[in-house]
Structures are given as structure tokens and as C-alpha cells.
């Protein structure tokens, strides 16, 4: 589980370095230990996909907030 924790932390850090317009909320840091327990048995590739999908969802939510509701 410690290894998954480290892998997740590294993948997220790498994504945040690429996506310069995104950053972690310092008031609500990610709990990598909890995430690692929920993703037990995932391969490193699975974890990369999980983080990519999470980043995609954040981008969609941000775009919706910026554009406002569609009438």
C-alpha cells in the first residue's frame, strides 16, 4: 500500500507540473493513504488512468463554472 501511495503522489505531482493552471488546495490536501487503500490491486497504469480521469473531470467542472449555465 505504501508503494501505491507513493505512485499516486508522484503521478498527481507530475500532472500538476504539466497542468500549470491547476493546483492542489492547501486547505484540503489529497489523502494519498486513503486513496491507496481504495485502489488496492490497481496497476501503475490503472493509477495513471484514474488520475487522468480525475484531472479531466476537474477541467470539465472548471469550464462549466467559467461559462455559467446554458439557457
**Residues 38 and 5: beta-carbon distance below 8 Å:** no
Confidence class for position 1, pLDDT limits 50, 70, 90: low
Q: What is the pLDDT of residues 10-41, one digit of tens each?
A: 999 999 898 888 888 889 899 999 998 999 89
pTM: 0.77
Q: Which domain holds residue 17?
A: 2-67
As to burial, measured by CB atoms within 10 angstroms (0-12 exposed, 13-18 middle, 19+ buried), residue 8 is buried
Task: State residue 22's pLDDT score.
Answer: 82
Torsion sign over Cα 48, 52, 57, 58: positive
Total domains, the chain? 1
Confidence class for position 71, pLDDT limits 50, 70, 90: low
Length of the chain: 71
Helices of type H across the chain: 2-18, 32-38, 44-67
Amino acid at each position: 500500500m505504501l508503494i501505491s501511495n507513493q505512485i499516486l503522489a508522484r503521478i498527481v505531482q507530475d500532472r500538476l507540473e504539466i497542468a500549470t493552471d491547476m493546483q492542489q488546495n492547501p486547505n484540503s490536501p489529497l489523502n494519498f493513504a486513503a486513496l491507496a487503500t481504495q485502489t488496492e490491486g490497481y496497476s501503475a497504469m490503472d493509477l495513471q488512468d484514474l488520475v487522468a480521469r480525475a484531472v479531466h473531470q476537474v477541467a470539465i467542472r472548471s469550464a462549466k463554472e467559467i461559462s455559467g449555465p446554458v439557457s
